[in-house]
A and B are shown apart, each in its own frame.
Chain A
Amino acid sequence: MHWVNAIVMLIMITSGWGIYDDDVIIRGFHFSQFWRLGDWAAWSLNWHFAGMWFLTINGLIYLIYGFVSGRLREKLLPIRPAEVVQTVVDTLHFKIAHEDITVYNAVQKLLYIVVIFAGVAQVVTGLAIWKPIQFSGLVSLLGGFQTARVLHFAGMAVIVGFLIVHVALALLVPKTLWAMVAGGPCLKPRGRAEGNPAT
C-alpha cells in the first residue's frame, strides 16, 4: 500500500507539473520537459485524471483503516511541542538512530499529520478546480478559482517538501526501507512493540 501510494503520488505530482506549465502560476517559473509526465498538456491531464482515482481510493482505505483500527491515533498522537524541538535538535546533531522504528518520534508524527492533511487538501482543491461550476460553493469557500489553483500548487509544494525530507531520512536510516517493503515488525495487540526490529 505504501508503494502504491508512492507511485501514484509521483504520477500526480509530475503530471501536475505538466499541467502547471500550460499556464504557469508563478510567472517566470516552469518545469522543464524532463520533470513532466506526459508529452504535453493533454497527456499530463490524462495521467492526472487517471491517477486521481488510485490516489483517493488508496488514501481512503488507508485513512478508514487507520481510524477504525486506532492505528493512526496510536502512532501519530500525542505530539508535545517540547518533544518536537528536542527531536529537531537531535536530528541536526545527526542523532537519527532509530532503535524502534515502529514508534514515531515527535517530528515524524508532525510531518505525517501534515502530509495527510496536505493530501486531503489536494483532493479538495483538486475537486474545486476540476469542477468549479458544479462545486461553485466549494470554490467560493476557497476564495475563487484562481486562489484554488494557487492552493493546489501550494499543497503540492508541501508534499514535495515532505517527500524530500522523508526520502532523505529513509536513506539515512536504511532499516526503515525494509520495513516499508515488508510492513515493519509485528506489533503485539496493545501496540507494544516486542518483536525484534528489522536489522
Chain B
Amino acid sequence: MKSPFRPDEVPDASLLDDHRSLIRSLERRGLIRGGLSLGALVMLTGCDVKRPESVESALLAISRLNDSVQALLFDPNKLAPTYPASMILRPPKFNAYYDVMDVKPVNGATWRLGLSGLVADKRPWTLQDLQALPQISIVIKHICVEGWSYIGGWTGTPLRTFLERVGADLRAKYVAFKTADDYPSSIDMASALHPQTLLATKYGGETLADPFGYPVRLRMATKLGYKNPKWITAIEVTNSYPGGYWESRGFPWFAGI
C-alpha cells in the first residue's frame, strides 16, 4: 500500500539499464544484497555513479581499519555514565530509515524470537519467556550518528544472560539481528557481552511503545543509535560477517562510542 505521505517523484526505472555494470560491481563488493531491483535503484540514486570506485574503495578500506582501531579502544569493563531517572525523555526521539507512519506494529502475542547459528538451544522464545529472565534497568545517553543525543531509560535482560541461557558460543565473532522492519544489524561479541547491553522490553518503566521497537529492541550504551535494532525477530551467532542496513550504504560497522 502506497503511503499517502510518499512524495510523488520516484526514480525513473530506466536508470537501472544505464548503470547495470555499476550495480553488478557493487553487488560483487557485497554492498547491495539482492539483485537488480528497485531497492538497488534507490540506493543507486543515492550513489554518485561517476565517483571513481578507487576513491570509494580507499575510504571504505580506511573505515574498516578504523573498525579495528575502535575494537582495540573498546574497554569491555568500562561502563557508560548513567543518569537520574528524572532526566529520561518521555517520549523518546523516534528515528528510522522511514518516517513514523510506516512503522509496522508487531503482535506481541504471536511474536517469536528465532535463533540460529552457533547456538545450542534454537527453540524460539515468546515474549513471556523473555520477560521471565532477570531484568535490569539503565538510564543512559543515546547518541545518534547524526549528532543529537537524549537521555533514555530502558529495562530488559542483559544480552549476555540471554546468550548464556541459549548456549551460544561466546567465542564467536558476531551477533546478528533480524527485525520486522527489514533492518538487519550486527555487532561484535565483545559489545554484545558488555554489562549495559540489553534486550530491552520497556522504556521509562513502561512497555516499549510500537514506534520504539515493541516487543523487544537492542539497547547498548557503547554504540551509536543505528546499531540498536528495533522490533527484533531473530538473533544469530556467527563467525561470518553479517553486515547491516546502514553498513551496506557506507556507514561504519563498529560504530562504537
The reply, when asked whether chain A contacts chain B directly with Cβ atoms under 8 A, is yes
Give chain A's interface residues, CB within 8 Å of chain B: 19-20, 22-23, 25, 39-43, 45-47, 49-50, 53, 130-134, 136, 145-146, 149
Q: Determine the chain B residues whose CB is within 8 A of the CB of A20 once the complex forms.
A: 147
Q: A131-B73, A132-B257 are in contact. Are A23 and B144 (CB under 8 A)?
A: yes
Is the beta-carbon distance between B73 and A134 smaller than 8 angstroms? yes
Cross-chain contact of A136 among B62, B80, B251, B252 (Cβ < 8 A): B80
B33-54: CB near A (< 8 Å → 1, else 0) gives 0000000000000111001000
Is the beta-carbon distance between B46 and A133 smaller than 8 angstroms? no
Q: Determine the chain B residues whose CB is within 8 A of the CB of A136 once the complex forms.
A: 78, 80-81
Is the beta-carbon distance between A43 and B73 smaller than 8 angstroms? no
Complex CA gap A22/B147 in Å reads 7
Cross-chain contact of B143 among A43, A132, A134 (Cβ < 8 A): A132
Give chain B's interface residues, CB within 8 Å of chain A: 46-48, 51, 58-60, 62-63, 66, 70, 73-75, 78, 80-81, 141, 143-149, 221-222, 246, 249-252, 256-257
Is the beta-carbon distance between A39 and B60 smaller than 8 angstroms? no
Q: Determine the chain A residues whose CB is within 8 A of the CB of B80 once the complex forms.
A: 133, 136
Is the beta-carbon distance between B146 and A131 smaller than 8 angstroms? no
Is the beta-carbon distance between B149 and A46 smaller than 8 angstroms? no
Complex CA gap A19/B256 in Å reads 17
Q: A131-B256, A133-B221, A133-B222 are in contact. Are A43 and B250 (CB under 8 A)?
A: yes
The 8 closest A-B pairs by CB, nearest first: A42-B250, A23-B147, A46-B59, A22-B146, A50-B62, A23-B146, A133-B80, A133-B257
Q: Determine the chain B residues whose CB is within 8 A of the CB of A40 once the complex forms.
A: 46
Q: Determine the chain A residues whose CB is within 8 A of the CB of B249 once the complex forms.
A: 42
Is the beta-carbon distance between A50 and B73 smaller than 8 angstroms? no
Q: Determine the chain A residues whose CB is within 8 A of the CB of B63 once the complex forms.
A: 46, 49-50
Q: A23-B146, A49-B62 are in contact. Are A134 and B257 (CB under 8 A)?
A: yes
Q: Determine the chain A residues whose CB is within 8 A of the CB of B62 once the complex forms.
A: 46, 49-50, 53
Q: Assuming A133-B222, A145-B143, what are 19 further A-B pairs, CB within 8 angstroms? A: A23-B144, A39-B46, A40-B46, A42-B250, A42-B251, A46-B60, A46-B63, A49-B63, A49-B66, A50-B58, A50-B59, A50-B62, A50-B63, A131-B73, A134-B75, A134-B256, A136-B78, A136-B81, A145-B141
Complex CA gap A45/B251 in Å reads 8
Complex CA gap A132/B222 in Å reads 9
Q: Determine the chain B residues whose CB is within 8 A of the CB of A47 once the complex forms.
A: 59
Task: Output the least CB separation between A27 and chain B (Å).
Answer: 12
Complex CA gap A22/B149 in Å reads 13
Is the beta-carbon distance between B246 and A42 smaller than 8 angstroms? yes
Cross-chain contact of A39 among B48, B70, B78 (Cβ < 8 A): B48
Q: A46-B60, A50-B58, A133-B221 are in contact. Are A41 and B146 (CB under 8 A)?
A: yes
